[in-house]
Chain A
Amino acid sequence: MAVNDMTKLTLGPIAYHWSADTRRDFYARIADEAPVDEVYLGEVICSKRAPFHEADLPETIDRLERAGKTVILSTLAEVMLKRERKATEDLAAMETPEIEINNAAGLFARGKRPHRIGPFMNAYNEATIRWMAGQGATHICLPGELPADAIAVAAKAARELGLGVEVQVFGRASLAVSARCYHARAHDRTKDNCQFVCEADADGMPLRTTDNSPILRVNGIQTQSESYVALLPETGELIANNISHLRLMPQAVDMVAVATVFRDVLDRARAVDDADAMLRSVCRTTPFSNGFYHGKAGYRRIAMASPA
């Protein structure tokens, strides 16, 4: 059964400070080779990084659209400074492409014009989703820590309101954001004087406990999981529970291969076990987790019973 013509695979915004060249090459390859339907662009984490890649945005958008991808621009998760308020307002003023809002300042600027709700907006429940839909939201990305039973209730409500519903199925989980830059702090600098040290860590800066267990990743003002969230065996259940969009977060691995594995599972072109093994080899030694989905500690990897 071609279950999945309806289910879209999306590529989330790059969370890290990849160089302009890296980004250009990355999106060129995504445009040419990655079986994703929609691509989110824009700087979500740190407003200081935006100038490095803003100039390339129009060309990247064009390139992706010519390859048949829908492009959505994401706004900053944290809006405090003048330049952040301005950037949010400017994005909210755009008619095309679509925009994804990650801060209430963006909701204010956007008013009732159509928009997507990003994962930083805390759309945890059906009451909030109903409110947001009434204000012009067309699509909701659910918070990464929401467990499966809540996802099912939220997604059902959203679909009944005619909204798209998205869940992150691959990549490091965003665990926290702060006004302080922990990359700068690690190098005894402040945020204003950071000299963009975060560029050195394409997949985040690893933190280990004093007894040497890997635990977290630092990405500027953001703290991420050490593990990659990987909800590959769970895709069937997600789709059955009304999820319309599955989000892959860009990591410093072969993202075309990652997208292909997920696409193959959606198309039933590859068995889940086989696909999981492929994903494992693409991601080398990085641990996988699905604890949040199963209502357990986020870092855990819970074995999924095979569907009948």
Chain B
Amino acid sequence: MSMMNHTAPAMRPLSGAVQRLACLAVQPILSRVVKRIAARHSSLFARLGPHQTTDYLIDPVELPFALHLRPDPQALLFRAVPRESLPLSGAAIRGPFLLLLELIDSEEDGDAAFFSRDLEISGDTEAVVRLRNALDDVDGSIAEETADLFGPVGRAILARLRRSYSDATKGNMYT
């Protein structure tokens, strides 16, 4: 649960070794999460169309690593990658971790986040639009499904994350 320590906006830069350790620590979780989502929501692959084999870089700015997603149903890939050695990607999405989480769950509107410049995208814009639309067609909360994987502790952590994010950002997003 190393993610938990890094939600504060100001974070000390971590050394390359620590980044790589963090990646190793979260990898089993990421693999479980993405397999479960793929199994439960197989229809989202159809909406990805030709971008099932696109390499997406999801970059939560305050975490010590970024996430590399290739949503290929034949060879699903979701892994943490250290900032110092990011892979080549077809599209990149960058923003605060919890904003990204809320976007995945449609708690937040992607276009609005883009208008407000909280969200940055680069690379193949169609790939990003397809991923967004595919995720948006998923009913329920991917974040909660993920938290459920870890039982009551997972759910408590998610609730705390949301509270701190809400306190930190909601004030200025809606004024």
**Any A–B CB pair closer than 8 Å:** no
Q: Which residues of A contact B (CB under 8 A)?
A: none
Q: Which residues of B contact A (CB under 8 A)?
A: none
